[in-house]
Amino acid sequence: MARASSGMDLNGQIAALLRDFAAIQKSKQRMWGFKRAASAILALDEPIASFLQADGTLRKIPHIGPSSTRVIVEVLQTGTSATVERAIADSGQASDIKHRGPLRSQFLSRAQVVAALQNRKLSGPRLEDYRGDLQMHSTWSDGRQTLADIVEGGLARGYSFCAVTDHSYGLKIAGGVSMTDLRKQHREIDILNGRYRGRFRLIKGIEANIRADGSVDMELDELRELELVVAAPHSALRTEADQTARMVTAVRSPGVHILGHPRGRKYGSRPGVSADWDEVFAAAREANVAIEIDGDPSRQDIDYDLAKRADEAGCLFALDSDAHSTAELAYSETALAHARLAGVPADRVVNCWPTDKLLAWLARSG
């Protein structure tokens, strides 16, 4: 089908078409309607083909209106949508729409995630191997969950630990936490860890920003106040300029444990950092820094193809949700699916380690 990106199942292809259709709408209401429909398709647990009934109609799917239903049925019956194709051709935006295709490459739909988790032929970490999430945000920065919510949410999922990694003070746009507030947060974490001792461990972390030169936006003595440091890029994410040196410098920076969402890509909107990733992975392996697979559906960063290369380099991995609410803790399943598709061994996934082993690695790495 036209404009389909590699790695997509039919759910992903239809969602991409609906996003393209949304982009050319003159009405904001119709634009948001098609975007919502695309999101609904991506979030389905099962293949969209299972919703097509014998009479050629579509079984009801929440947030899918009549116009989106027509597009979906067209694709299911013919492999493409004449409605969308004509509209794009008449819009004068065909070149812009074509540019979006590669920006959706290697993104998994929820149906693909479920299939990867259930596929016994795949190796790699299983849901039952996963002991805790090492990147998430609370109300102390840009999250919507309290620290207590994180603990209870983790316990509900059977976790032994989680790390709260609110944004560092250098990223003001995301409500970066001042050192004064961070120390207050640590006192609250101490209280929670006392309350849940023997059941759950909340880890004092931060998501530090990687500057243009590869340094992180906190001083070394400040980083030493933390148990876990995720270093992640939040700028220069749309340029084709090579940024290998930036990323290598980041993983070699003292105090860094995890290279978070390494590319900083976003579904359909930006490609993220360009780099010689094999060189970055080799540097991370040498520095004992884990490579993150961020499970946020809009990020999925790194994806299974890059994860295979990081695995071949001998890297450690962190599979995280990047959750901003307890409902988003399930995003870790997307990260797990990418790891399974890449064949990453569970013993090289730090989220699958016992708490004592994880804490010892954090202390040694820091």
- For 104-121, write each residue's pLDDT tens digit: 999 999 999 999 999 999
Per-residue pLDDT tens for 118-163?
999 999 999 999 999 999 999 999 999 999 999 999 999 999 999 9
* Phi and psi, residue 202, nearest 5°: -95, 125
346 contact partners, CB below 8 Å, separation of at least 6: 124, 125, 126, 129, 352
**Helical pair 82-91 and 66-78, crossing angle rounded to 10 deg:** 110
The pair of three-digit structure tokens given for residue 161, joined into one six-digit string: 């630990």
Question: pLDDT tens, 318-344?
Answer: 999 999 999 999 999 999 999 999 999
Provide the residue count of the chain.
366
Which pLDDT does position 238 carry in this prediction?
Answer: 93
Return the DSSP state at 26: S
- Contact at 8 Å (CB) between 164 and 207? no
Question: Distance between CA atoms of 329 and 343, rounded to whole angstroms?
Answer: 23
Q: Confirm if 140 and 166 have CB atoms less than 8 A apart.
A: yes
Which segments of the chain have a pLDDT < 50?
1-5, 366
Q: Which residue has the tokens 């004064």?
A: 180
The gap between the terminal CA atoms of the chain, to the nearest Å, is 49
Asked if residues 250 and 261 have their Cβ atoms less than 8 Å apart, the reply is no
What is the model's pLDDT at position 202? 98
> Do 162 and 134 form a contact (C-beta atoms < 8 A)?
yes
| Domains in the chain with CATH codes | 10-105 (1.10.150.110), 116-365 (3.20.20.140)
At 290 the pLDDT is: 98
pLDDT for the residue 174: 75
Write down the pLDDT at residue 1.
36
Q: Which tokens is 45 given?
A: 């647990």
pTM to 2 decimals? Answer: 0.95
